[in-house]
């Protein structure tokens, strides 16, 4: 099976780096920081910045630039691997599954993170969105992965913690498996059409090797 993994909230807890970079960007623009930044983890940055910046396209782009400015130097290091993830990846690889990452992060930010992980080499490919895009491109990236690997939809699964991962899976006829240790809720994942929910990484490996 082709197992496509989201990065933030699925393989790594990236909240510290992401929220610090959001605060950095908003401080640069002298804009108050929302009390809860967890909902920002998953959607495209432009989508989240726009309402705070009056949908001013120029200010939104400036905020995104400030975010990336800090992330490139510090933010990408500010994360932790979820307990049990490394063992789950090892199990999937040993079972003969092929693995790739499909993330909303630009490749230039996701690549060094993946390379820093002890199990990073298990992933054959990394898919990220066009850096200039304001849209979630999970469906497009999943389609690209299916084509690259020559895999039929019924022989693939998209694993992630937010509705965007599951919606991308549904759009491609791929099994969407939600993980409950990330930033999305059980309700969000179920409403998006998740075929299964994993309570922890060992449970996820069980689901994918059954």
**pLDDT for 155-172, tens place per residue?**
999 999 999 999 999 999
Cβ contacts of 57 within 8 Å, gap of 6 or more: none
Please say if the pLDDT value at position 73 is more than 70. Answer: yes
d(C-alpha 190, C-alpha 40), whole Å: 20
* Res. 147 pLDDT band, cuts 50 70 90: very high
**13: Cβ contacts below 8 Å, ≥ 6 apart:** 79, 80, 81, 82
Q: What is the pLDDT of residue 135?
A: 63
Average pLDDT of span 93-115? 94
Which pLDDT score is estimated for 133? 64
Decide: 178 and 189 in contact? Cβ < 8 Å: yes
Say if residues 49 and 31 touch (Cβ distance below 8 Å): no
In degrees, to the nearest 5, what angle opens at C-alpha 28 toward C-alphas 24 and 34? 60
150: left (phi over 0), alpha (psi -120 to 50) or beta: left
Mean pLDDT of 7-19: 94
Q: Which pLDDT band, with edges at 50, 70 and 90, does 38 fall under?
A: confident
Which pTM value belongs to this model?
0.90
Which amino acids are annotated catalytic?
Answer: 6
pLDDT of residue 42: 76
Averaged over 80-95, what is the pLDDT?
97
């Amino acid at each position: 099976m082709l197992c496509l993994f989201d990065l933030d909230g699925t393989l790594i807890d990236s909240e510290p780096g992401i929220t610090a970079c959001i605060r950095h960007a908003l401080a640069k623009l002298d804009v108050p920081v929302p009390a809860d930044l967890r909902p920002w983890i998953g959607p495209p940055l432009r989508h989240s910045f726009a309402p705070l910046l009056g949908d001013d396209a120029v200010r939104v782009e400036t905020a995104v630039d400030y975010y990336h400015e800090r992330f490139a130097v510090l933010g990408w290091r500010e994360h932790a691997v979820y307990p049990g993830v490394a063992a789950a990846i090892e199990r999937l690889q040993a079972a003969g599954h092929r693995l790739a990452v499909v993330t909303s992060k630009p490749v230039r930010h996701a690549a060094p993170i993946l390379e820093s992980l002890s199990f990073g080499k298990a992933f054959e490919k990394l898919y990220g969105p066009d850096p200039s895009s304001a849209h979630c491109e999970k469906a497009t990236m999943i389609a690209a992965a299916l084509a690259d690997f020559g895999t039929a939809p019924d022989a693939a699964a998209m694993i992630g913690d937010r509705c965007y991962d599951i919606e991308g899976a549904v759009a491609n006829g791929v099994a969407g498996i939600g993980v409950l240790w990330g930033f999305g809720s059980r309700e969000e994942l179920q409403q998006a059409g998740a075929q299964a929910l994993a309570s922890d990484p060992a449970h996820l490996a069980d689901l994918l090797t059954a």
